[in-house]
Structure formats: C-alpha cells, structure tokens
Amino acid sequence: MDAEKLSHFRNLLIQQLRQETEQVRTDQAAALELYDDGVKDSVDLSVQDLNKEIALRLGERSSKVVADIDQALLRIKEGSYGICARCGQPIDERRLEAVPTARYDAQCQSLIESANGDDDLPTL
Ligand SMILES: [Zn+2]
C-alpha cells in the first residue's frame, strides 16, 4: 500500500478513535447521571447497580474498540497494515474503508468467525 493510502487509513482510524472516546464519555456521563438521580431520595440498590454496570460495560466495549484502533495504527507504523494476519494476502481496500481496523481479509475473517463464533459476542 502506498504512503498516500496509508495516511488516508491512518486519518480514518484517528477519526474513529476520537469519535469512540467522545461517544463513550457521553454515554458514561448519561449512565452515571441516571445513577445519581435514581439514588438521591430512595436508595434503590438494584437501579444503582444496574447503572454502574451500564457505565462499566460501556467502558469495556470502548476499550476493546480503542485497542483495535491502536493495533491498526501500530500496523501502519510497522508496515503490515492492510495485509491479512492469517494468509498474508492484501486485504481488499473496500473492506478497509468499511472496517479500517480489519486484521484479516473477508475470507479468513469468516473462517475465523465460524471456528470461534462471533468475535463481538461477550465472553461469559
Ligand atoms: Zn487471509
């Protein structure tokens, strides 16, 4: 991939990183605000716990997304960005446009997903 394209994807990733951190801050603030209002007069432990849980989960989800973006930025730096980590073939650029953090090409991704189950499912 040439330098111009790499910098295009780097910009996409940085933009995504910014959006993600802003979004999670807004969501967490909203969840915590709900938590404050809910416990002012009557101490409802289940509501309190639920809202803490929401804030926590938002943080967890975000840290996974942020870690994916960080890894993609690292691959750009190392020169392995856009190369499938499984088969070494270049990843389709249309796929990278849609999913700039993609580590595998579509074929390997679906093989991995059918082997491991959906990557986005929470691990219990
Ligand atoms: Zn592959």
Ligand 1 mean position, distance from CA 83 (Å): 8
Please identify every residue whose CB atom is under 5 Å from ligand 1, which is an ion. Answer: 84, 86-87, 105, 108
105 Cα: distance to centroid of ligand 1 (angstroms) = 5
pLDDT, one tens digit per residue, over 63-105 is 888 999 999 999 999 999 999 999 999 999 999 999 999 999 9
**Residue extents of the structural domains in the chain:** 3-116
Contact 73, 82 (CB under 8 A): no
Pick the CATH number of 3-116 from 1.20.120.910, 3.40.50.300, 1.10.10.10, 2.40.110.10: 1.20.120.910
Distance 104 CA to ligand 1 centre (A): 5
Residue 62 tokens, joined: 């975000």
Beta strands (DSSP E) in 43-98 are none
97-122 pLDDT, tens digit each: 999 999 999 999 999 989 876 555 54
Residue 36's CB is within 10 A of a number of other CB atoms, namely 10
